[in-house]
Structure 1
Amino acid sequence: MTFLQELQQQRWDDHRYYHHNRINQFLHLLSAMCFLASYILVFYYPAIAALVGWLLAMSLRQTGHFFFEPLDYDKVNKATHEYKEKVKVGYNLRRKVVLLSIWAVVPIIMLIEPSFFGAFVPAANLYEFINNMAIVWLFVGLGAIAFRTVHLFILMGVQSGLVWACKIITDPYHDIKIYYKSIYYIMKGEMYDNMEDWYEEASFENKAL
């Protein structure tokens, strides 16, 4: 596949396997808006960007996955949850638990080691502590993307790794594009996406590419 074809495929697989629930889709829409805000803030206030990204955007996104997305047999795609976890290109639920655990342990480490092993001047007050912690969180997020990208270089090839990195970075824009109607469906009482429209669109786009 070309770069664009593989990008389309990764986006499509992520949507059809992990975004059936409309509430999950709506939380992804809110998360995408928060991530876009953090993209802007990172150039002016990196620490605030990290707080928005982790505390708002990531919390909303992962709440949708862990609490609303069905984890049983996927009748639409005729796949078990175990199969989907195995073929997931990016961070599946198990990898997300590891990543979130690293994120959660950062404040504990900084309480024990205020300088974070010499990276910062120890915080003199709560504001400085939060600022230092947020900077570490920013690097945890960037590091997670870099680590999985390089890991995919080894597992699937350089193009697949670069495609995934591109997908992750542009996910907020794409989520807004495909989930902006989610609240409309929720108000109609349609709590699950049958993927019929998406199958047709994906088929058409793949042929076009």
Structure 2
Amino acid sequence: MSSFLHDLKVQRWDDHRYYHHSRINQSLHFISAISFLVAYGFMFVNPAVSGLIGWLISMVTRQSGHFFFEPRGYDHINQVTDEYKEEIKVGFNIQRKVVLMAVWAGLPLVLWLDPDFLGLMERHEDLSGFVLNVGWLWLWLGVAGLLVRVLQLWRKQNLYTGIVWATKILTDPFHDIMMYWKSPYYLFVKRELIDPGHHLAHEDEHKPEYARG
């Protein structure tokens, strides 16, 4: 268990130091984390609504931070190139995220053209039914994305790494709130667009061979 918690901490640390330099990105992750917790709560009430919240709010804010605000050039703090970070990332790098988000955006269109989704769903009768069915599809997309990446990591590295990563993903909302709750203050009050990274220079006690985003 101590080894598992250590490796989980390593993946979390690499995620922060490599992929969250922008204060805007950090702030969006804070918003995303709160909405993910709301989505978790709806899993026990209405899973379809959970899927809608998780993708329309949580994932849109989270991935917007990475796509539009996170610097993609040479990382002077960690002294690595963006290409290196994309290559070693345990989770979804930019290329994988583009594929995932394209599938996400395309599912409502497929459902509109095929209301019973190849016979796998009950046909919607009105707009609210359509929206809820979209929520179900997005929920299953999230589950599928998680499982597919775990299987990829199992094949490329080992199942243990995939399980650590999946645990990190599922617990990210709690960790991100602890990490980034001050980010809006630094962004709007201190006017910092980029985290100066002083803590990164002094706390890099290990040089892990992998990273996750």
How much has 1:69 moved relative to structure 2? 0.5
- Structure 2 counterpart of 1:157, which letter? N
Q: Is 2:111 aligned against 1:110?
A: yes
Equivalent pair of 2:151/2:162 in contact (CA under 8 Å): yes
How much has 1:137 moved relative to structure 2? 0.6
How much has 1:122 moved relative to structure 2? 1.4
Distance, in Å, in 2 between the alignment partners of 1:106 and 1:96 is 15
From the superposition, tell whether residues 189 and 94 of structure 1 become closer, same or farther in structure 2 (CA, over 3 Å).
Answer: same
Distance, in Å, in 2 between the alignment partners of 1:46 and 1:108 is 21
How much has 1:200 moved relative to structure 2? 3.9
Residues 111-142 of structure 1 deviation map (CA, whole Å, 9 limit, x = unaligned): 11110011122111111111111101100001
Q: Which residue of 1 aligns with 2:135?
A: 134
- Structure 2 counterpart of 1:70, which letter? P
TM-score by length of 1: 0.94
How much has 1:28 moved relative to structure 2? 0.2
Distance, in Å, in 1 between the alignment partners of 2:100 and 2:185 is 33
Distance, in Å, in 2 between the alignment partners of 1:202 and 1:84 is 16
TM-score by length of 2: 0.92
Percent identity among equivalent residues?
46
Distance, in Å, in 2 between the alignment partners of 1:52 and 1:156 is 32
Q: Which residue of 1 aligns with 2:21?
A: 20
How much has 1:39 moved relative to structure 2? 0.4
Distance, in Å, in 2 between the alignment partners of 1:78 and 1:71 is 13
Q: Is 2:179 aligned against 1:190?
A: no
Higher helix fraction: Structure 1 or Structure 2?
1
Q: Is 2:82 aligned against 1:48?
A: no
How much has 1:98 moved relative to structure 2? 0.3
Distance, in Å, in 2 between the alignment partners of 1:146 and 1:189 is 39
- Structure 2 counterpart of 1:197, which letter? H
- Structure 2 counterpart of 1:189, which letter? R
Distance, in Å, in 1 between the alignment partners of 2:133 and 2:199 is 45
Residues 69-80 of structure 1 aligned to structure 2 (within 5 Å): 69-80=70-81
Distance, in Å, in 1 between the alignment partners of 2:94 and 2:118 is 30
Q: Which residue of 1 aligns with 2:68?
A: 67
Distance, in Å, in 2 between the alignment partners of 1:167 and 1:30 is 18
Residues 161-209 of structure 1 deviation map (CA, whole Å, 9 limit, x = unaligned): 11000000000000001101101211112221132224545639x9xxx
Q: Which runs of 4+ in 1 moved over 6 A?
A: none
Distance, in Å, in 1 between the alignment partners of 2:204 and 2:46 is 38
Aligned length: 205
| Structure 1: runs of 5+ lacking an equivalent | none
Give me the CA root mean square deviation: 1.6
Residues 71-110 of structure 1 aligned to structure 2 (within 5 Å): 71-110=72-111
How much has 1:43 moved relative to structure 2? 1.0
Distance, in Å, in 1 between the alignment partners of 2:77 and 2:204 is 15
How much has 1:89 moved relative to structure 2? 0.4
